[in-house]
Amino acid sequence: MKMLQYTLLNVPLRRNKLLLRYSAQLFKRCYSADIRNIGILAHIDAGKTTTTERMLFYAGKTRSLGEVHRGNTVTDYLTQERERGITICSSAVTFPWNGKRINLLDTPGHIDFTMEVEQSLYAVDGVVIVLDGTAGVEAQTVTVWTQADKHNLPRLVFVNKMDRPDANFDKCVDDLKSKLDAKPICTQYPVKNNEGHLGIYDVITLEQLSWQQKDYGRVYHKTKLESSDALRDLQEKRNELIDQLSGLDDELADVVISTEGFDQVSNKLIGQAIRRATNQNKIVPVLLGSAYKNIGIQRLMDAVNDYLPTPEERNQIYECFGNDLAGKVFKIVHDKQRGALTLVRLIRGELKRGMRLTCSSGQAEVVSKIYEPLADEYREVSSVQAGDVAICAGLKSTVTGDLLTSSHSSLKNAQKRLMKSRGLTTQLHEDEEDFVGNQEMFAIETQIPDAVYFCSIEPPSISSQTAMEQALKQLQREDPSLRVSYDAVTGQTVLGGMGELHMDIIKSRMLSEYKIDVDLGPLQIAYKETIESSAINTFSLEKEIAGSKQNVSITLELVNDQVEVFSLDKSPENVQNLNALRPRILQVVRKGAISALERGPRVGGQVVDTQIRLHNVVIGRGTADSFIMAAAAQCVQKLLTTNGTRLLEPIMALQIVAPNDRVSGIMADLSRRRSLIKDVTTKGDKNKLILVNAPLAELSGYSSALRTISSGTASMTMQPCGFSEMNSADESLAVRRAQGLE
């Protein structure tokens, strides 16, 4: 028998507010059609965590209601999240609702944690987008909407905070059309009673829904509307809804035509049409309520069950796996007793205890245990079915974002089938490059955002260096957007990441979870470097090591290229020699040469958009691989130093929403920040949306500057959008700053 109700993850361990409800009927086996894997996304502070808390409460998972301001929510479980009142790690919770199981991921809203959101989206089949009813579509809403678009995820919109007097439902719906180009279908409208309490009109059932506060909104009442203007108005809205839907759904259109009108169309048929159109991303059903005042949440959960897809309805690309195993790793957590636990969304096949698996890097893994956590304890199970989420122990090399398969050959066979079904004939090769390249066919490669900031990290004493390295390794498996490297020049460990908050959280987690009080150096911008022009060089290295003569002569060329990082020269004078090289030697040369691109000569930035072309290599008998590798690396370093590199600086894409009368002040300030205004559009009656790209170096303290210029009326989000060349003066300044001379 399988568990139906549990709380996933290291969420609420040993929290007495959670109930262990082992009622027999809840433990019935859950089939894929009864599962909904959903994400909850929004602009910061729209109310995701509060909404999730209510869902858990009404599903019977918690005994009391958690509040963000009291720091006692289930999903914001890290000390840092509770203290700061924000979501940092996406967390998963599972609860039963009307015979279905909802696996819900609450995701962070802050830009520094975009990677978390990205990974969660691989694990879900649909999303709920929460809007703040007083603010409508905000900058980060646009960002998460675009992310959901990228994953082609069906979605529902929940307009929250409708209890507030300044909330405006119609404006939110207009925003969805104008700012997101969505087709909203309102299945509800707000209504206020004589005392000003929020209620909901249900457009489909023509009922008024009202909630009582004395039982925390657990029970709500449905009242059929009596003949009145309100009923006529609602009937009109129902007709409009059917009209809109039948234009998009042929099955409903046939019913409308055969019954010659809208009145005869049943609620069930409308619901089915909404489901089909939502799953094809033709419409977005819109619901409303107030999470804080406990209004409307149960209907939102009903809508998740009714309108969002089952696991089987999605992920058709993975059909090429047949019954073979395919699972997406969306999170790794560390449990004190059980060590690293890997959260896997199982897409195909069945995952069994003791199974051998292969992760994206090609490493073999063995699942020692599988858990389904139950409220405050993990429950061990022997297997988990496709469509569900499993927590695996024993995986050592797997990182967040990996695709787990039963073997390398199973992955290759699936890729062959996929390519065949797409009419592609590309030959698969054994080597590593193709292994990685072909993963892109599945859009499964881990997209790790480039670090835009870095800083040194130091343990409190030399004796805790190893413990610090271990802890960083664990944190990095959880969060691949955290980069850890070693600077051989300064002898320091260096952290790369997405922003100040990101680094700050790492420091705090090191202390609270690993008891290591690390010191972070000043935050610096992570520049990249690139070559200006092609250059070629022959480099010879000769040495006697332990009585054996080692010598290598290697000719390498650097060329500007954004696609391939390493290639072989195809000219007639070299092709024969290179073809005669053993593949292992080629791998060694490749590895050594590429390693030299990790640190450029100007500021130690990664060298990008540069291809290393091997022209020739002559290796003396008995020369060790490590010696060949060193020669290749030194050859590239020499080329980079003598030929010189240009700096590339991180660019941020800003979305600023500001009242019309503040726009000129904001634009004037932006022009002083080397920015590029991409677009300025109207946002409603009073606001403008400014889309602008600006170098990160110019944005230090920008959010407070914007607050000052706009007297707090403007809002902004930003995200990294690539790297760009700079002019010589700015470049020299950046180099001086990086060297600590400015």
Ligand X SMILES: Nc1nc2c(ncn2[C@@H]2O[C@H](COP(=O)(O)OP(=O)(O)OP(=O)(O)O)[C@@H](O)[C@H]2O)c(=O)[nH]1
Residues of this chain that bind ligand X (CB under 6 A)? 42, 44-50, 68-69, 86-87, 109, 160-161, 163-164, 290-293
Amino acid identity of residue 58, one-letter, is Y
Least distance (Å) between residue 76 CB and ligand X: 7
Hey, is 591 helix, strand or coil? helix
99 known ligand binder? no
Give the C-alpha separation, 317 to 135, whole Å: 37
163 known ligand binder? yes
Nearer to ligand X, 81 or 175 (CB): 81
Phi, psi values for residue 479, rounded to 5°: -135, 90
Nearer to ligand X, 242 or 295 (CB): 295
Nearer to ligand X, 45 or 202 (CB): 45
Nearer to ligand X, 330 or 539 (CB): 330
Least distance (Å) between residue 107 CB and ligand X: 8
The half-sphere exposure of 339 on its side-chain side, counting CA atoms within 13 A, is 10
Phi, psi values for residue 739, rounded to 5°: -85, 5
Least distance (Å) between residue 165 CB and ligand X: 10
**Which of 566, 436, 486, 530 has the alpha carbon at shortest distance from 722?**
530
For residue 41 the two structure tokens come to 């996304």
Least distance (Å) between residue 291 CB and ligand X: 4
Give the C-alpha separation, 179 to 682, whole Å: 10
50 known ligand binder? no
Q: Which residue is nearest to ligand X (CB)?
A: 109
Nearer to ligand X, 508 or 537 (CB): 508
722 known ligand binder? no
Centroid of chain to Cα 294: 29
Give the C-alpha separation, 205 to 307, whole Å: 16
45 known ligand binder? yes
CA dihedral for 176, 178, 181, 184, sign (positive or negative): positive
Amino acid identity of residue 382, one-letter, is S
Burial of 634 (0-12, 13-18, 19+ CB in 10 A): middle
User: Is the Cβ–Cβ distance between 199 and 211 less than 8 Å?
Assistant: yes
Least distance (Å) between residue 295 CB and ligand X: 8
109 known ligand binder? yes
For residue 343 the two structure tokens come to 């959260």
For residue 559 the two structure tokens come to 């060329």
46 known ligand binder? yes
370 known ligand binder? no
Least distance (Å) between residue 110 CB and ligand X: 7
Give the C-alpha separation, 621 to 317, whole Å: 49
49 known ligand binder? yes
Least distance (Å) between residue 166 CB and ligand X: 10
47 known ligand binder? yes
Nearer to ligand X, 176 or 291 (CB): 291
412 known ligand binder? no
Nearer to ligand X, 133 or 311 (CB): 133
Other beta carbons less than 10 A from residue 423's beta carbon? 6
Least distance (Å) between residue 50 CB and ligand X: 3
User: Is the Cβ–Cβ distance between 329 and 399 less than 8 Å?
Assistant: yes
Nearer to ligand X, 84 or 646 (CB): 84
Give the C-alpha separation, 232 to 236, whole Å: 6
CA dihedral for 216, 217, 219, 223, sign (positive or negative): positive
Nearer to ligand X, 85 or 665 (CB): 85
Least distance (Å) between residue 89 CB and ligand X: 11
44 known ligand binder? yes
Binding residues: 42-49, 106-110, 160-163
Q: From the annotation, which residues make up the binding site for GTP?
A: 42-49, 106-110, 160-163
